[in-house]
Each structure stands twice: as C-alpha cells, then as structure tokens.
Amino acid sequence: MTIGNVIKKYRKNSGMTQEEMAARLGVTAPAVNKWEKGVTLPDVALLAPIARLLGITTDELLSFKDELTDEEINQYLSKLQKDLESRDFHDVFLSVKKKIEEYPNCERLIWQAAVILDAKRMTAELPNKDMYDGVIFGWFERCLLSEDERIRNQAADSLFHAFIRQENYEKAAQYLDYFSLENPERKRKKALVDSKTGKRTDAYRAYEELIYTGYQHIQMTLNDLRILYMEDDDHEMAKKLVEVSSSVASAFEMGKYNEVCFGLHVAIWEKDAPWTAQLMQEILDSAGTISDFTKSKLYQHMVIKPVDPDFSVGLRQKLLKSLGDEAFNYMRGNEDWEKLKSERKKPSRNRK
C-alpha cells in the first residue's frame, strides 16, 4: 500500500474530509488530494504530524509493515484468481509485482502469488510465456531463504518442475538439496531426473524402492489406526481395516502370507474361535510365501537380499508352537484348533 493509499484509508476511517485534514496540518486541500492520488508525497517534516493525526505509527504511514495477516493474504489470493479469469494476464502480473514490492518480506504472499501466476501462464494461451521467467523464478528463489520449511520446499518444488519443463535437468537437480535425505520427494524427483538423463535403471530402482517403503508406511499406519479403533471398542472399523490391509498387501503383490496375517490380532481380541482357527490355518499354509514379493515384477530392479530358505520353515514352527499360548485359551475344545496343534508333533514341513 502506497503512502497516499494509507493516508486516504485512515483519513476516511477517522471521518475527516480532505479539507479538514488540510486545515489541521496547515496545508491546502489540493495538496492532500495529490498525496492520496500518488501525484506528490508529503514533506518529510509532515510525516510525524500526519501519523499522529491519523492515529498510526510512521512505520504504518510509510508502509513498512512486513507482513499481511493470513486473512488479508487469503482475500488477496482469492481476488487474484478471480482477476486472472477476467483480466489480461500481463496487467494482473504487474499488479502482483506491485503488491510484492509493497510487502517484500511477506513470504507466504510471494510464494503463493508466484505459484498462482506460474500455474496460470502454463495453462493459458499466452504469446510469450517465457518473458515472465525472470521475475517469477526470482520470487521462488527469494522463498528458498525462508525459515519456514514448507515455503522453502514448495518454492524448490516449483523451481524443480519449471526446469524439468524446460528440459534443463542439471539445473532442476540443484533444487534437490532443499529436500532432506529422509524426504521421499527428494528420491522421487531424483528418479525423474535420472529417467531423463539416461540413468533409467537407477530410476526404475528408486521408484520401486519408493513403492516398497510406501507399502510399509501404509501398513504401519493402518496397524496403528486399527489398534486405536480396538482401544475404543469399535469392532466394525477394526475388521474394516483388516480388509484394507489385506487388499493393500494384494495390490502391492506382497504374497499370500501378508494378505492373511493381519486379522489374527483382531480375532484374538474378539475371541472369535472359528475365525481364529481359519486365519491360523491360512497363515500356516502360506508361511512359505512370506518373501514372494521378491518374485514380483513390481520390484524387479531392486537389490534384495536373498531370504534364507529355512526362514519360512522356522516361522511356521514358531506359529505352531504359539498355538498353546495363554492368549489362545479361548480356543480350547475347538476341533479345528486341536487339529492344528496336532501338527506340532509331525515332521517340519513348509506348505505353499
């Protein structure tokens, strides 16, 4: 906001006319009018009296306000999006540029306005889209210095994709450093660069590793959510999440064992004898498939440590041994359970 706009805003808020303000300051009404229109600026000696008269600080008078409130930013961005639908892009761009010059330290305004303008110019039929690169990219670069990690990441993301669109992959890769090594987005973006620069095997491997770690994260989250519902005695949702976990294991081709194992915890919790016996039978029968994901083409480029053939045999024996645990006391007398327990006396075998 210019000094003229500040004067006009607070003069009206106080209920003064230009003539009244002029009289109190010892100037003419046309002089006040010129200030408000931006034709001239008040004399330096008048700045303090003007601020006192308007009930504001000299910083506010001179528009030294670094930040807008979230509400003010949201209102401005909403208007910006509407303006882009009804006005010439270049005119709107210039108005945004002026707004950012007024609030050069308002990082959220700069970042989100730049994102909106960048997206619009990519989708609109503009004759010279590239002419805005310098300014818009400059805004993103300024946001890379933000103390707000979210703003830094979003600005880096915008610049990364901008240079990917320009096929400047070396430049795009420079923005990967703004993402932490633990952030999967860094790995995904690196894979995209690799796929464009002849390192396709590396790209395949990275994408597959992201799928695998994504699966693990999903299942851990589903498990935690399932436990939460169990703590709140919500049987319907606990069983629903067992179904979801099973479907996820199937979709990610993790093998039959991983598709059937999730319900056992809930079955024990509910003391559902028929379901427990059914699940345990399926788990025992599929123990040999626990590492079947290594055979899936979804993970064919990953370097996976071979699974010891005796692992599934040992797993099955541990499961059989657990049939006598106290947690399964409610299974006493169940015919199917007793048949399973009798298998502990048979020679070790690995069903598939």
Do residues 340 and 320 make contact, with C-beta atoms less than 8 angstroms apart? Answer: yes
Q: How far apart are CA 272 and CA 196, in angstroms?
A: 54
Alpha helices in 271-347 (DSSP H): 273-285, 309-322, 335-342
Query: Worst-scoring range by mean pLDDT, 133-137, 236-240, 297-301, 341-345?
Result: 341-345
Mean pLDDT, residues 259-276 taken together = 96
pTM: 0.74
Q: Indicate whether 161 and 274 sit together in one domain.
A: no
18: containing domain: 3-61
Q: Indicate whether 164 and 281 sit together in one domain.
A: no
Determine, yes or no, domain membership for 192: no
Q: What is the DSSP letter of 147?
A: S
Q: The domain that contains 56 carries what CATH number?
A: 1.10.260.40
Where on the phi/psi map is residue 167: left (φ > 0), alpha (ψ -120 to 50), or beta?
left
The whole-number pLDDT of residue 351 equals: 45
Which domain-ending residue is among 41, 61, 81? 61
- Report the 10 Å Cβ neighbour count for 139: 23
Q: Indicate whether 44 and 74 sit together in one domain.
A: no
Q: Indicate whether 169 and 51 sit together in one domain.
A: no
Q: Indicate whether 319 and 213 sit together in one domain.
A: yes
Q: Indicate whether 222 and 310 sit together in one domain.
A: yes
Q: Indicate whether 247 and 329 sit together in one domain.
A: yes
Q: pLDDT tens digit string along 168-187?
A: 999 999 999 999 988 999 99
Q: Indicate whether 110 and 170 sit together in one domain.
A: yes
Q: How far apart are CA 28 and CA 7, in angstroms?
A: 15
Is the pLDDT reported for residue 61 higher than 90? no
Which domain-ending residue is among 61, 78, 97? 61
Give the DSSP per-residue string, 51-78.
Answer: HHHHTS-HHHHTT------HHHHHHHHH
Residue 58 vs residue 265, higher pLDDT: 265
Q: pLDDT tens digit string along 63-118?
A: 655 568 889 999 999 999 999 999 999 999 999 999 888 788 889 999 999 999 99
Q: What is the DSSP letter of 326?
A: G
Determine, yes or no, domain membership for 189: no
The whole-number pLDDT of residue 60 equals: 78
Query: Worst-scoring range by mean pLDDT, 107-111, 124-128, 132-136, 285-289?
Result: 124-128
% of the chain at pLDDT higher than 70: 96
Do residues 270 and 232 make contact, with C-beta atoms less than 8 angstroms apart? Answer: no
Q: Indicate whether 89 and 143 sit together in one domain.
A: yes
Determine, yes or no, domain membership for 298: yes
Determine, yes or no, domain membership for 18: yes
Is the pLDDT reported for residue 352 higher than 50? no
Q: Indicate whether 48 and 121 sit together in one domain.
A: no
Determine, yes or no, domain membership for 100: yes
Do residues 116 and 77 make contact, with C-beta atoms less than 8 angstroms apart? Answer: yes
The whole-number pLDDT of residue 242 equals: 97
In the chain, the number of structural domains is 3
The whole-number pLDDT of residue 235 equals: 97
Determine, yes or no, domain membership for 195: no
The whole-number pLDDT of residue 188 equals: 97
Determine, yes or no, domain membership for 350: no
Q: Indicate whether 48 and 143 sit together in one domain.
A: no
Residue 344 vs residue 10, higher pLDDT: 10
Q: Is 330 exposed, middle or buried (0-12, 13-18, 19+ CB in 10 A)?
A: middle
Is the pLDDT reported for residue 10 higher than 80? yes
Is the pLDDT reported for residue 59 higher than 90? no
Which domain-ending residue is among 61, 88, 105? 61
Determine, yes or no, domain membership for 126: yes
Do residues 83 and 95 make contact, with C-beta atoms less than 8 angstroms apart? Answer: yes
Q: Which run of H or E residues covers position 219?
A: helix 200-231
Q: Indicate whether 245 and 341 sit together in one domain.
A: yes
Q: What is the DSSP letter of 103?
A: S
Where on the phi/psi map is residue 38: left (φ > 0), alpha (ψ -120 to 50), or beta?
left
